[in-house]
Structure 1
Amino acid sequence: MQQILFIDDEAPIREAVQQWLELSGLAVRTCAHAEEALALLDADFPGVVVSDVRMPGMDGLALLERLKALDAELPVIMVTGHGDVPMAVTAMQQGAYDFIEKPFSPERLLGSLRRALEMRRLVCENRALRRQVARREHIEGRLLGVSPAMEELRRQILELAPTTVNVLVRGETGSGKECVARCLHAFGPRAGKAFVALNCAAIPEQLFESELFGHESGAFTGAQGKRIGRIEHADGGTLFLDEIESLPLAQQAKLLRVLQEKTLERLGSNRSIAVDLRVIGAVKPDLVAEVRAGRFREDLLYRLNVAELRVPPLRERREDIPLLFEYFALAAAERHDREPRPLAAAELARLMAHDWPGNVRELVNAAERHVLGLGGRTGEALAAPRSLAAQLEAFEAQCLRQALQQCRGNIAEVMALLQLPRRTLNEKMQRHGLNRIDFLPAGDQD
């Protein structure tokens, strides 16, 4: 939660400013001297510092110097009652965000604070993003997101990765199923071996057997030389079959035999080749329904679906949209050698209101177009079909999710943060399908 730290040696001023700001919905903490404030601050302080210049002991300019050494991007607003223009110039040269002369109106201070808080929010979000990306060896750097749904998905992946079981990954188009499969491989004992991906919907049926199992020279017309198939290439590692519901029934039977016998035969050969691999299948529809329709073998389903992971669509984790958009936009800006373009509040609101039928893949495209300056204002067309009521509902659900996550499921803190009575909060949580248990720390969920 963003905070204001206000420092002034005069108690009446501290009390008045605290009252003004809290009535405006801001969280405020006051200190009587600079030394007290320094003990409360670190480089990740999520807010803004407001300090009087003339104070006993360490004055405001000395405090500003210390704060800039601690964090050069921390917004510091300086206040003085002396109308000292040279002092104001010195403060701004040392990196002060703003300089306000006493007596000042609440509106003057609030305006400066809101701009500074927004700047600080963006700085903190970018730092969090860069920390995630820098930790590529950690799963947070591969599966970005702060939503409870993504935290749960990462937890499930880390539990399954060290095992040998086959996994079925379910999710909509563009939701990141292959990324999940790669994490299962990367964080398990097979990480040093091959990860072999095959999109079952992209292979003509007549080529499936050769593609999966390989062939010997002369096995069929045009087979000039031996070919190692995808299954054999994945020996010791992981075979990822995307859109596995598109696998022809004849090849389903042969894949089942490989999983049961742990051997394969290349097309045109009678020699059995031992293989040891983990199979991860990705699917959009419900495979049980495909089994009932006769399009998928039930016995193969049981072999593949030892464990199942569901990748949530982007519309179910809207709190991840700003982080993901910023990440993709920064990557696109670097790729195209462009300066990152700031995202206006109205553009972000449109992104948050959109349902993202193409999920993360669609968001990548939106970020790319934003960086290239294409298509007008980002998200302008995205949310157009949705009514105002639907957009307000989506925004309300997003606010509730953020508050529950920030307060780690503590309902009393959520009530205080959102200024809602218990009954109203309960009704809204129920309407949006939110449960406090999903936001509790992992150790408190038992």
Structure 2
Amino acid sequence: MLNSVIVVDDEASIRTAVEQWLSLSGFSVQLFARAEECLAQLPRHFPGVIISDVRMPGMDGLQLLERVQTDDPDLPVILLTGHGDVPMAVEAMRSGAYDFLEKPFTPQHLLGSLRRALEKRQLVLENRKLHQQADLKSRLEGTLLGMSHGLQQLRRQVLELASLPVNVLIRGETGSGKERVARCLHDFGPRAGKPFVALNCAAIPESLFEAELFGHESGAFTGAQGKRIGKLEYANGGTVFLDEIESMPLAQQAKLLRVIQEQKLERLGANQSIAVDLRIIAATKPDLLEEARAGRFREDLAYRLNVAELRLAPLRERREDIPLLFEHFARAAAEKLGRAAPPLSASQLAQLLVHDWPGNVRELANAAERHALGLGSPDLEVAPAGQSLSGQMEAFEAQCLRAALRQHGGEIKAVMEALQLPRRTLNEKMQRHGLVREDFIGRE
């Protein structure tokens, strides 16, 4: 239950009396003598109620109400009025004031009005939070595409971790979308308005690594002309994405560990520390702890980076996402050319579903672009190792069911007619493939 209250009154005796009453009842009270001071310190989405006198020097209570209504029309304002101000207060309630209390008022009357206003405020804030979460979920579904159980779980994890101030380690094969996931962790969290700096550790020569990461002062080494801001300092307040972190030289690992621990860095050739506020998201294909046991990575840094871990499943483990991803990439490529993407035949779809996709999403995107450009499909494995005929048939059947459910918005009768299946058979197949009608409603 919310318990924050702001009291605005130019009379010190009333402020003191109201504070005593409310504090004894368990409320957290903040006092202001002037409305201007209240507005200057009023946080956005204030989780409470404002109680304000009507007649005050400078900005009066009605003007305060008007300003509050402009910024947050759902923030309850209770007005305190003298006898002659009652008609004015009634008019103010029509303009959005929650309640008015005529002086002198009893503590019970004040507490009753305040508790009702706080209940209303709590419902408003909870509703806003639900809408915000629904909006974030919808945006994320359009960014991390897929209907597989693994992708749905990944999206839930990303939404949970995005708002938490913890470092994250992303593990996945080449081409599985590690940078896209890192970008989502940044974009859907409180650092979204700050820089997102991506760095591939394997692409930087060891001799340049320190200067690239930490920057340098003029004359720090031969050729260092002028001061240079490093990637870590540039990302202050935001997120640094270190891809292929296992390739970072051991000497720089020690310096990165110090930055993470102390939230400070030193440019090459400098003696002064610079405070930085960073979130580190690292990505790797191998297990960092195994790399540490082999002497190729610092174990203490591995633990610092792996506060939370996200594992990206390879495409071959989530084949049901292949058609949706292929369609997305093909349509995007076709739109650039101002044309419609050619449809996939059943045999082409079957090939996509049974191919092993060693290059994961990156390879699939390339194949989709070739298809959209009319360059044909690349040579795909028809029967990858470990993929039996029955497994291929199961994958194809699941995709046919999923496509029909999506096309008809989850309408079971329409799916039965389209696939020419009796109700019982369709239900059994949907259950076997983990398909739920509600997941497709409104997706046609």
Same fold (TM over 0.5): yes
In 1: Cα distance, 2:170 partner to 2:290 partner: 16
In 2: Cα distance, 1:282 partner to 1:387 partner: 28
In 1: Cα distance, 2:380 partner to 2:389 partner: 12
Q: Could you tell me which residue of structure 2 aligns to residue 315 of structure 1?
A: 316
In 1: Cα distance, 2:386 partner to 2:294 partner: 40
Count of equivalent residues: 291
Q: Could you tell me which residue of structure 1 aligns to residue 292 of structure 2?
A: 291
Q: Could you tell me which residue of structure 1 aligns to residue 350 of structure 2?
A: 349
Q: Could you tell me which residue of structure 2 aligns to residue 145 of structure 1?
A: 146
Q: Could you tell me which residue of structure 2 aligns to residue 416 of structure 1?
A: 424
In 2: Cα distance, 1:141 partner to 1:212 partner: 33
- Cα distance change, pair 274–210 in 1 and its aligned pair in 2 (3 A): same
Gaps of 5+ in 2: 1-134, 411-421, 440-444
Question: 1:7-46, CA deviations, whole angstroms, 9 ceiling, x for partnerless residues?
Answer: xxxxxxxxxxxxxxxxxxxxxxxxxxxxxxxxxxxxxxxx
- Cα distance change, pair 387–419 in 1 and its aligned pair in 2 (3 A): farther
Gaps of 5+ in 1: 1-133, 409-413
Map 1:202-351; keep pairs closer than 5 Å.
202-351=203-352
Give the SS at the match of 2:237.
coil
Q: Could you tell me which residue of structure 1 aligns to residue 393 of structure 2?
A: 395
Letter in structure 2 aligned against 1:357:
P
Give the SS at the match of 1:138.
helix
Q: Could you tell me which residue of structure 2 aligns to residue 20 of structure 1?
A: none
Question: 1:352-397, CA deviations, whole angstroms, 9 ceiling, x for partnerless residues?
Answer: 11011101100110011112222x4x35x20235489724413314
- Cα distance change, pair 263–353 in 1 and its aligned pair in 2 (3 A): same
Q: Shift of the alpha carbon at 1:146? A: 1.2
Q: Shift of the alpha carbon at 1:186? A: 0.6
8 A contact 1:353–1:395 mirrored in 2: no
In 2: Cα distance, 1:387 partner to 1:268 partner: 54
Q: Could you state the TM-score of these two structures normalised by the residue count of structure 2?
A: 0.60
In 2: Cα distance, 1:272 partner to 1:387 partner: 54
Letter in structure 2 aligned against 1:384:
V
In 1: Cα distance, 2:311 partner to 2:386 partner: 31
8 A contact 1:353–1:391 mirrored in 2: no
- Cα distance change, pair 439–150 in 1 and its aligned pair in 2 (3 A): farther
8 A contact 2:147–2:321 mirrored in 1: yes
In 1: Cα distance, 2:253 partner to 2:297 partner: 8
In 1: Cα distance, 2:185 partner to 2:225 partner: 36
- Cα distance change, pair 389–197 in 1 and its aligned pair in 2 (3 A): closer
Identity %: 65
- Cα distance change, pair 173–346 in 1 and its aligned pair in 2 (3 A): same
8 A contact 2:355–2:383 mirrored in 1: no
8 A contact 2:173–2:314 mirrored in 1: yes
Letter in structure 1 aligned against 2:424:
A
Q: Shift of the alpha carbon at 1:320? A: 1.0
In 2: Cα distance, 1:222 partner to 1:295 partner: 30
Give the SS at the match of 2:332.
helix
Q: Could you state the TM-score of these two structures normalised by the residue count of structure 1?
A: 0.60
Give the SS at the match of 2:216.
coil
In 2: Cα distance, 1:324 partner to 1:383 partner: 19
In 2: Cα distance, 1:160 partner to 1:264 partner: 25
Give the SS at the match of 1:271.
coil
In 2: Cα distance, 1:404 partner to 1:328 partner: 19
Letter in structure 2 aligned against 1:180:
V
Question: 1:371-425, CA deviations, whole angstroms, 9 ceiling, x for partnerless residues?
Answer: 2222x4x35x2023548972441331454588699799xxxxx99345769xxx9
8 A contact 1:352–1:395 mirrored in 2: no
- Cα distance change, pair 289–149 in 1 and its aligned pair in 2 (3 A): same
Higher mean alpha-carbon deviation, 146-155 vs 397-406, is at 397-406
Letter in structure 2 aligned against 1:320:
D
Question: 1:236-255, CA deviations, whole angstroms, 9 ceiling, x for partnerless residues?
Answer: 00000000000010000000
Q: Could you tell me which residue of structure 2 aligns to residue 158 of structure 1?
A: 159
Asked whether 1:382 is paired with 2:380, we answer yes
Map 1:49-128; keep pairs closer than 5 Å.
none
Q: Could you tell me which residue of structure 2 aligns to residue 188 of structure 1?
A: 189
Decide which structure has the larger Cα Rg and report it.
2
Give the SS at the match of 1:146.
coil
Q: Shift of the alpha carbon at 1:309? A: 0.3
In 1: Cα distance, 2:155 partner to 2:214 partner: 32
8 A contact 2:354–2:387 mirrored in 1: no
Q: Could you tell me which residue of structure 1 aligns to residue 179 of structure 2?
A: 178
Q: Shift of the alpha carbon at 1:318? A: 1.0
Question: 1:304-346, CA deviations, whole angstroms, 9 ceiling, x for partnerless residues?
Answer: 0000001111111111111111110111112233332111111
In 1: Cα distance, 2:193 partner to 2:295 partner: 38
Query: Where does structure 1 differ by over 4 angstroms across 4 or more consecutive aligned residues?
Result: 134-137, 400-408, 418-421, 438-442
In 1: Cα distance, 2:260 partner to 2:438 partner: 38
Letter in structure 2 aligned against 1:295:
R
In 1: Cα distance, 2:253 partner to 2:385 partner: 45
Letter in structure 1 aligned against 2:200:
N
Question: 1:120-171, CA deviations, whole angstroms, 9 ceiling, x for partnerless residues?
Answer: xxxxxxxxxxxxxx99971111111111111100000000110100000001
In 2: Cα distance, 1:365 partner to 1:320 partner: 16
8 A contact 1:218–1:225 mirrored in 2: yes
Letter in structure 2 aligned against 1:396:
E
